[in-house]
Amino acid sequence: MIPSPTSLGAPASFAAPAAVAAPWQLQLLSMQLVPVAPLLLLPFIIVAFVVFAPLWGATLLAIALLRAIFWPIERVLIAIGAPGAGEANDALVRANRWVSTLGGLTERYTASRNESRGGPTPGP
């Protein structure tokens, strides 16, 4: 417990007056405690999680299903020696990498970060 100034021997004039705040002052104080930045960013967060995240997940799922469908077909075409047998799978691998890295955004960020540090840049 923190002692008051009067209990330590100070004169009564040093004691803090008992101030009672008016209701409008309490409301104003509580409004000042509301953070503004999250409220301003809320529409962008909602759009990101409600619109873009499900579309990104659906795209990843579609590419995974296409790869699962084309993989056995490609193996058969490679076994019989058909020309250009691996091109469909290569295109799907590139598409999967592009979608999973958010359109190459993460790869460009990593490359620029490594370049600024003098390190090697990741390959394609």
- Whether the pTM exceeds 0.75: the reply is no
Q: For residue range 24-42, list pLDDT tens digits in order.
A: 665 655 566 667 778 888 9
Residue with tokens 């590139």: 94
Structure-token pair, residue 80: 């019989």
Q: For residue range 38-64, list pLDDT tens digits in order.
A: 888 899 999 989 999 999 999 999 999
Q: What is the Cα–Cα distance from 60 to 48, expressed in whole angstroms? A: 16
Contacts of 60 (CB under 8 A, 6+ apart): 96, 99, 100
Contacts of 20 (CB under 8 A, 6+ apart): none
Would you kindly state where each structural domain of the chain is located, as residue ranges? 38-124
By residue count, the chain amounts to 124
